[in-house]
Structure 1
Amino acid sequence: MAEISAADASDSSPSTDEKDARNGTTQTRKPPPVISLAMLRRAIGDEIASLDVNEVTRRVYEGVLLKDDEKQGQKDQAQPYIHKYWVDRKLNRNCLMVLASALSITWGNDSQYWTKPEEEESCYSGNVNLPIAVLRGVWWLEIKGKCKTIVLSPRTMYEVTIVVKMSSRNHGWEIPVNLSLELPDGNKQGRMERLDRLEKELWIPISIGKFETTPKTVGEISFSLTQTDGHWKSGLRVKGVVFTPTTENKQPT
């Protein structure tokens, strides 16, 4: 596969070229981050060698689905996807979603409390059906997860959000949930959110916290959403936890 250059990865659509020609300028898009090649190879294996530069670029911008890298050598076709990786088109930075299947949910495998229907998620090959987590009802709500920051872009401010949908028939969310973020350097962030105030039947990202990728934050980051006051709650759907680059430095309140 040819090396990706800035010229190869530029947007060469006729409308862009014609506009640049009229303005007497030439637009050049930066190539996607180098790690995107490793992430794509992890997703499709040796097939990457047969792809041209434009196809490689298209796939990493539109997103690839990833299974557990520790089990890539195993021939278990039932192994679930655990991450979605893509490159932010505007900022040209790495993005990652920890899918619901990779989250640790208390009683999450008990159908009395949680179900796992599938919903469509977009990626370079089109829409793929992936399981989400749907709360039937619990007293003790605890959703946790981890992510290695090495896959994120360096020297970049990231916002961590949990993507949820509240059913129009939800119950028991008058008390706020607790959201927490623990960084590899030991620093912790925490905030609270009233989920009953969210617009219903829409996927909405709820901010957990923000952090900058520096040498001190290389490692494993932990996050959680909890509400353990002991009253019955229902009607929550969870798609995953997303790490997206942002130009803002302000911490959420």
Structure 2
Amino acid sequence: MGAGLSALFTGGSLSQLPVRPSLGDLPESCVASIIGYLDPPEICKFATLNRAFRGASWADFVWEEKLPPNYRILFGEVFGSVPVQWGKRDIYTRLCRPHTFDDGTKKVWLDKSTGGVCLSISARGLSITGIDDRRYWNHIPTEESRFSSVAYLQQIWWFEVAGEVEFPFPAGTYSLFFRLQLGRASKRPFGRRICNTEHVHGWDIKPVRFQLWTSDGQYAASQCTLSDPGTWIHYHVGNFVVENSSAPTKIKFSMTQIDCTHTKGGVCLDTVVIYPSKFRERLKHF
């Protein structure tokens, strides 16, 4: 027994011990086939395991499945032609970063987890009745908006907001929302959030009407009473379906409350957002 232990500790028999395979011994092509079933953030996490996973995480065929089918059209619309030396992961990464266009009034990006196209339109990119009269509307700075400012209404009789966007959305079903808040939020020292509801009135008398139209004849409408002062809410306007991803889809939309029997005010208008419809449940928790 002593001789056996001596041989073991001196390495005399280590060369004869079987070597067990590890993850690093897997062929890179095999690893790529496995991680292709993961979400993009998970792929990036597994890339830190070892060299095989790191190399597989750059395989074009892995990211081809994650990109929208019309990704070249999307990239061209937003950035111009795709650099020749770029791989599919480079393209995916670039498209996931919000890109501002149309004089800074719109942003578009891919959702990192799903590859779904998301688009946001700022209040400055909308047509707002009375926006040029500071007695009614003001653009105020805030850290709570992707565009660093929102449109704030003090009081008005005739409330109407409209807008449009034309973009080559990939095929699928999309939902359009207005992001609104009753009250004007601000921060006190030490970061404590407060909301001034002094001008909030008139929204509980009649509902607000939301509408959307698409260039191929689709129409949707909804209405609801604005509520919950101090909370940003995504008000769902409706859904639309894109079938032809090779051509731009034009969407027009509006938000109105035109009952002139009473004034209304104290609302912040941030953005109009378009997300894949499967995101609707996620927005309820924002």
Q: Which residue in the other structure is 2:177 paired with?
A: 161
Partner SS for 1:116: strand
User: Within 5 Å, which residues of 2 pair with 1:93-172?
Assistant: 93-120=116-143, 130-148=148-166, 150-154=167-171, 156-167=172-183, 168-169=197-198, 170-172=200-202
1:204 corresponds to which of 233, 239, 248: 233
Whose strand proportion is higher, 1 or 2?
1
User: Within 5 Å, which residues of 2 pair with 1:1-253?
Assistant: 11=41, 12-15=43-46, 18=49, 28-29=62-63, 30-33=65-68, 34=71, 35-41=73-79, 56-66=91-101, 68=102, 80-120=103-143, 130-148=148-166, 150-154=167-171, 156-167=172-183, 168-169=197-198, 170-174=200-204, 175-195=206-226, 197=227, 199-215=228-244, 219-230=249-260, 231-247=262-278
Quote the offset at 1:158 in angstroms: 0.2
Change (3 A) 1:200 1:50: farther
Partner SS for 2:148: strand
8 Å Cα contact 2:239/2:277 also seen in 1: no
Change (3 A) 1:202 1:15: farther
Change (3 A) 1:233 1:17: same
Counterpart Cα distance in 2 of 1:204 and 1:118: 19
Change (3 A) 1:138 1:50: farther
AA paired with 1:160? L
AA paired with 1:89? K
Counterpart Cα distance in 2 of 1:236 and 1:15: 45
Identity of aligned residues (%): 25
Q: Which residue in the other structure is 1:75 paired with?
A: none
Whose helix proportion is higher, 1 or 2?
2
What is the aligned-residue RMSD (CA, Å)?
Answer: 3.7
Change (3 A) 1:18 1:223: same
Counterpart Cα distance in 2 of 1:96 and 1:121: 17
